[in-house]
């Protein structure tokens, strides 16, 4: 058993002391497998190091009557100019073990062949991972500490690691930290959330993960996105993958969606992917996931428009073509009548629209009204570019209904104009996802400070359409300008 | 919990076992260090003592060429051998321990490896290199009759060991301090160069004016060098030293070195 009593860990920082762990208590019995969830920097790795005995707590203690491994598959201790064999020899010496039999095991398990006699500096990261894992397995422990192991090597090697660890050593205790929650849910029987230095324990993974996402959502709500706003919709689409990778809440939501998808809970999975996409609406790969889930759940129209969205955002057509064709045939439509529109790297108004644009522009033009699923899908089939989309939204009675006052002024040629706002510090600005994305789509300024000010003003405004128009927004979108002029030609229609 | 308190593997094992583990770990680190530093190319680990030998030979040549005045009629080769070798002995050890923990912090993930082990391995390696270089050069110089064999080899050995102890304690103290402050690394280099002329390597204390002797004898390594020269040339020179001064200095320095090591060990973050 491992007993953690009243464990505290404080690190000195330039801004004073930071308490990473505060009063952590738990017991780990033989054979128990504990999975720890926590945000980046929550102290998961610190806890692992404290349990391993490699680091000392500031207060409290770790008692163990079983042998505890070093953090597994950890390759950092490899010396670059030692060979694989040297590293095996070193570990064998440190743990007083028979070098020859260890070497035989590592040779067999790592499948590195002659490379084992080469310097580690020549290894690829996959080869390092294999050597690290094989070396981790040469010493037997009662308790294994596993810190981020799931990203290791190819699928076949991953399976062999899992067999070695979770089948052959199933009787051992384990503490697992991973960014991949499915790894934790697959292998653990107890779960803990580490947040603000405190640990809370759960026996049910779904409960633990739901709460974990909540704590993360709360934390991110308090500290929203502060990076610079992309200059254009093109840049937005190019950056969004990286932004999504860095967005912990996005990743966590997507992971949960993946788990639901594997469990064939299609509707829940679709809803979770959509929830994630609300944070990063232009992330095309997850629109494919939304589409897959909707298709499985039987929502054919929604699936089709999600697939088309992915392509409009740059997903290669070949990846989704067969799915769209199948869906259209199910609706008794000829796929060749409505070819999928591919992404073009051009000014926003020339780009083919995607679901998030429909959402964004309806929100701007109609207030609370929205396209139905059928309308959305229809637009995805017919509308060629964002300019056309916006002109249709404007021509729709729902626009007139939402902007009577502004249209009144506009028809008289008295719509207010205003210069773009003064720049503010882009790092200090906080704005909603939709305002940020709208600023990118408008592409009215190249200056990060001005863009940040625009997004902040949009958030504060109660008539965003009027504000955008006062800046001269959409002035270079020909069809949109034309659609607005229609109101001047038919003044009777207004009021 | 309290009723069936189990043996605690995080607690200290018996002393003899601890020594066995420490010996094993230091040995493994030593071999690892040799391979990482000298590799398997050209003459490999022979560099361990060839490098200090080249230093000493270079200095011998330089002093011979400039007819270095050292205040006695001893041959310059003898003077360089006994002088410069000792500088290498106490100066190279701190050079290798400063920054050693930061460079090797990943090793600390293995619970048996402690900062002290990393220091010991490096200190042993450096001391070994300087010692082998000293012996090899001494034997060669004697064989080609540049110098006479030492008059009392035990005194030479004792002086050498005392200086090695001084270097090791200094190295561990500076190594730990360098973990706490980067300034140590910045200051050590100029400091060690300035210490060279004051360390007794280039002069005999008896050749200095008395007022200057008092200052020079404050530096502990001077006593060690003088003692070694006493062993080498006892009847031909007047060596001035106080071995107990060096002994006390070594003891105090060692206590501080170990205290610092303990302080750092409890705070070091592996990785």
Residue in B6, B10, B32 closest to A53 by CB: B10
Mean pLDDT to the nearest integer, A395-412 = 91
Q: Which residue has the higher pLDDT, A287 or B71?
A: A287
CA distance A494 to A490: 8
| Cα–chain center distance at B213 | 24
Domain map of chain A by residue range?
A: 2-215, 233-353, 373-493
* Cα A87-A93-A99 angle, rounded to 5 deg: 75
Q: Which residue, A452, A458, A446, is CA-closest to A423? A: A452
Terminal-residue alpha carbon distance, chain A: 78
Mean pLDDT to the nearest integer, A22-45 = 91
What whole-number percentage of chain A has pLDDT above 70? 96
User: Which of A2-6, A36-40, A247-251 holds the top average pLDDT?
Assistant: A2-6
Mean pLDDT to the nearest integer, B52-71 = 79
Torsion on CA atoms B65, B66, B68, B72, rounded to nearest 10: 60
Give tens-digit pLDDT for A146-177.
887 655 567 788 888 888 888 999 999 999 99
Helix then strand count (H, E) for chain A reads 22, 9
- Answer yes or no: do B111 and A86 touch at CB < 8 A: no
CA distance B47 to A424: 61
- Answer yes or no: do B113 and A94 touch at CB < 8 A: yes
Identify all chain B residues contacting A86, using CB atoms and an 8 Å cutoff.
32, 35
3-state secondary structure chain B: CCCCCCCCCCCCCCHHHHHHHHHHHHHHHHHHHHHHHHCCCCCHHHHHHHHHHHHHHHHHHHHHHHCCCCCCCCCHHHHHHHHHHHHHHHHHHHHHHCCHHHHCHHHHHCCCCCHHHHHHHHHHHHHHHHHHHHHHHHHHHHHCCCCCCCCCHHHHHHHHHHHHHHHHHHHHHHHHHHHHCCHHHHHHHHHHHHHHHHCCCCCCHHHCCHHHHHHHCCCHHHHHHHHHHHHHHCCCCCCCCCHHHHHHHHHHHHHHHHHHHHHHHCCCCCC
Give tens-digit pLDDT for A283-310.
999 999 999 999 999 999 999 999 999 9
pTM, 2 dp? 0.75
Give tens-digit pLDDT for A49-92.
899 888 899 999 999 888 898 887 655 567 777 899 999 999 99
CA distance B175 to B101: 8
Q: What's A50's DSSP letter?
A: H
Residue in B25, B39, B109 closest to A74 by CB: B109
* Cα B258-B259-B265 angle, rounded to 5 deg: 85
pLDDT confidence band for B3 (50 / 70 / 90)? very low
Q: Which residue has the higher pLDDT, A222 or B200?
A: B200
Residue in A27, A76, A93 closest to B106 by CB: A76
- Answer yes or no: do B1 and A70 touch at CB < 8 A: no
- Answer yes or no: do A66 and B9 touch at CB < 8 A: yes
CA distance A418 to A453: 14
B→A interface, C-beta within 8 Å: 1, 6-10, 24-25, 27-28, 31-32, 35-36, 39, 106-113, 265-271
- Answer yes or no: do B111 and A70 touch at CB < 8 A: yes
Report pLDDT for B80. 85
**How many cross-chain Cβ pairs, A to B, lie less than 8 Å apart?**
83
| Ramachandran assignment for A298, one of left (phi > 0), alpha (psi -120 to 50 degrees), beta (any other) | left
Give tens-digit pLDDT for B155-186.
999 999 999 999 999 999 999 999 999 899 99
Report pLDDT for A370. 87
- Answer yes or no: do B111 and A54 touch at CB < 8 A: yes
Phi then psi dihedrals of residue A191, to 5 deg? -135, 150
| Closest residue in chain A to residue B5, using alpha carbons only | A65
CB A69 within 8 A of CB A169: no
Report pLDDT for A172. 92
Burial class (CB in 10 A: 0-12, 13-18, 19+), B254: middle
Q: Mutating which of A25, A26, A54 best tests the B interface, going by the most B Cβ atoms within 10 A?
A: A54
Q: Which residue, B52, B55, B59, B83, is CA-closest to B225? A: B83
* Cα A229-A427-A235 angle, rounded to 5 deg: 15
CB A175 within 8 A of CB A143: yes
Mean pLDDT to the nearest integer, B250-255 = 97
Q: Mutating which of B34, B41, B267, B270 best tests the A interface, going by the most A Cβ atoms within 10 A?
A: B270
CA distance A47 to B198: 50
| Closest residue in chain B to residue A27, using alpha carbons only | B1
| Closest residue in chain B to residue A93, using alpha carbons only | B28
The complex scores an ipTM of: 0.85
- Answer yes or no: do A54 and B108 touch at CB < 8 A: yes
pLDDT confidence band for A221 (50 / 70 / 90)? low
CB B159 within 8 A of CB B227: yes
Give tens-digit pLDDT for A348-359.
999 999 999 999
Residue in B25, B36, B112 closest to A79 by CB: B36
- Answer yes or no: do A65 and B267 touch at CB < 8 A: no
pLDDT confidence band for A476 (50 / 70 / 90)? very high
- Answer yes or no: do B109 and A93 touch at CB < 8 A: no
Report pLDDT for A75. 56
| Residue B5, token pair as written in the block | 């308190």
Q: Mutating which of B109, B113, B262 best tests the A interface, going by the most A Cβ atoms within 10 A?
A: B109
Taking the CA of residue A94 and the nearest CA in chain B, the distance in Å comes to 5
Torsion on CA atoms B172, B176, B179, B185, rounded to nearest 10: -50
| Closest residue in chain B to residue A87, using alpha carbons only | B32
Taking the CA of residue B177 and the nearest CA in chain A, the distance in Å comes to 17
**CATH domain A2-215 topology:** Rossmann fold (3.40.50)
Superfamily the domain A233-353 falls into: Tetratricopeptide repeat domain (1.25.40.10)
Helices marked H in A223-265: 233-246, 248-262
CA distance A127 to A154: 10
- Answer yes or no: do A82 and B24 touch at CB < 8 A: no
| Closest residue in chain A to residue B117, using alpha carbons only | A94
CB A455 within 8 A of CB A431: yes
A→B interface, C-beta within 8 Å: 1, 3, 11, 27, 45, 49, 52-56, 61-68, 70-71, 74, 76-77, 79, 81-82, 86, 89-91, 93-96
Provide the pairing of β-strand A2-13 with A16-28.
Answer: antiparallel
Taking the CA of residue A11 and the nearest CA in chain B, the distance in Å comes to 9
CB atoms within 10 A of CB A73: 25
């Amino acid at each position: 058993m491992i007993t953690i009593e009243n464990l505290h860990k404080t690190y000195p920082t330039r801004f004073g002391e930071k308490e990473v762990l505060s009063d952590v208590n738990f017991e780990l019995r033989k054979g128990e497998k504990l999975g720890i969830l926590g945000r980046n920097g929550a102290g998961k790795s610190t806890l692992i190091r404290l349990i391993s005995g490699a680091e000392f707590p500031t207060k409290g203690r770790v008692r163990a009557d079983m042998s505890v491994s070093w953090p597994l598959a950890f390759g950092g201790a490899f010396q670059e100019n030692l060979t694989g064999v040297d590293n095996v020899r070193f570990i064998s010496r440190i743990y007083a073990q028979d070098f020859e039999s260890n070497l035989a095991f590592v040779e067999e398990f790592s499948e590195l062949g002659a490379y084992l006699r080469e310097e580690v500096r020549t290894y690829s990261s996959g080869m390092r991972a294999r050597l690290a894992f094989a070396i981790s397995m040469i010493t037997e422990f009662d308790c294994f500490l596993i810190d981020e192991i799931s990203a290791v090597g190819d699928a076949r090697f991953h399976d062999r690691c899992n067999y070695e660890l979770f089948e052959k050593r199933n009787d051992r205790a384990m503490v697992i930290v991973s960014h991949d929650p499915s790894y934790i849910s697959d292998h653990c029987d107890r779960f803990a959330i580490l947040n603000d230095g405190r640990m809370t324990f759960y026996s049910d993974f779904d409960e633990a993960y739901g709460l974990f996402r909540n704590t993360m959502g709360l934390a991110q709500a308090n500290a929203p996105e502060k990076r610079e706003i992309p200059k254009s919709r093109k840049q937005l689409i190019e950056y969004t993958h990286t932004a999504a990778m860095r967005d912990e809440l996005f990743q966590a939501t997507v992971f949960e969606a993946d788990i639901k998808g594997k469990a064939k809970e299609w509707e829940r999975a679709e809803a979770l992917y959509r929830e994630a996409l609300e944070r990063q609406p232009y992330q095309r790969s997850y629109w494919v996931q939304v589409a897959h889930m909707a298709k499985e759940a039987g929502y054919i129209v929604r699936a089709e428009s999600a697939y088309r969205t992915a392509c409009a955002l740059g997903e290669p057509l070949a990846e989704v073509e067969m799915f769209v064709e199948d869906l259209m045939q199910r609706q008794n439509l000829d796929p060749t009548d409505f070819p999928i529109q591919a992404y073009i790297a051009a000014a926003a108004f020339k780009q083919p629209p995607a679901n998030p644009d429909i959402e964004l522009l309806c929100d701007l033009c109609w207030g609370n009204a929205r396209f139905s699923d059928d309308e959305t899908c229809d637009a995805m089939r017919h509308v060629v570019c964002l300019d056309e989309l916006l002109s249709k939204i404007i021509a729709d009675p729902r626009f007139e209904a939402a902007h009577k006052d502004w249209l009144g002024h506009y028809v008289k040629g008295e719509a207010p104009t205003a210069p773009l706002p003064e720049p503010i510090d882009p790092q200090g600005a906080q704005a909603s996802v939709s305002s940020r994305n709208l600023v990118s789509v408008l592409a009215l300024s190249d200056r990060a400070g001005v863009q940040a000010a625009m997004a902040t003003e949009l958030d504060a405004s109660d008539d965003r359409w009027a504000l955008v128009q006062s800046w001269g927004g959409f002035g270079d979108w020909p069809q949109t300008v034309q659609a607005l002029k229609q109101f001047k030609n038919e003044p009777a229609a207004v009021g | 919990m309290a009723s069936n308190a189990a043996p605690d593997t995080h607690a200290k094992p018996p002393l003899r076992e601890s020594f066995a583990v420490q010996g094993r770990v230091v040995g493994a680190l030593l071999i690892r260090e040799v391979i990482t530093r000298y590799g398997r190319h050209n003459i490999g680990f022979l560099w361990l003592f060839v490098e200090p030998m080249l230093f000493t030979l270079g200095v011998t040549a330089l002093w011979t060429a400039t007819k270095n005045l050292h205040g006695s009629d001893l041959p310059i080769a003898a003077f360089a051998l006994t002088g410069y070798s000792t500088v290498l002995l106490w100066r190279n050890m701190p050079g290798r321990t400063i920054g050693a923990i930061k460079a090797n912090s990943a090793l600390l993930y293995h619970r048996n490896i402690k900062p002290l082990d990393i220091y010991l391995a490096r200190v042993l390696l450096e001391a070994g290199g300087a010692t082998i270089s000293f012996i090899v050069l001494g034997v060669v110089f004697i064989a080609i009759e540049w110098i006479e064999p030492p008059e009392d080899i035990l005194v030479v050995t004792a002086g050498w060991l005392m200086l090695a102890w001084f270097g090791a304690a200094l190295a561990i103290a500076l190594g730990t301090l360098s973990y706490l402050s980067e300034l140590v690394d910045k200051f050590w280099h100029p400091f060690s160069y300035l210490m060279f002329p004051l360390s007794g390597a280039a002069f005999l204390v008896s050749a200095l004016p008395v007022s200057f002797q008092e200052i020079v004898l404050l530096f502990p390594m001077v006593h060690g060098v003088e003692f070694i020269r006493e062993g080498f040339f006892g009847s031909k020179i007047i060596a001035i030293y106080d071995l107990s001064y060096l002994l006390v200095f070594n003891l105090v320095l060692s206590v501080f070195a170990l205290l610092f090591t303990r302080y750092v060990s409890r705070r070091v973050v592996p990785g």
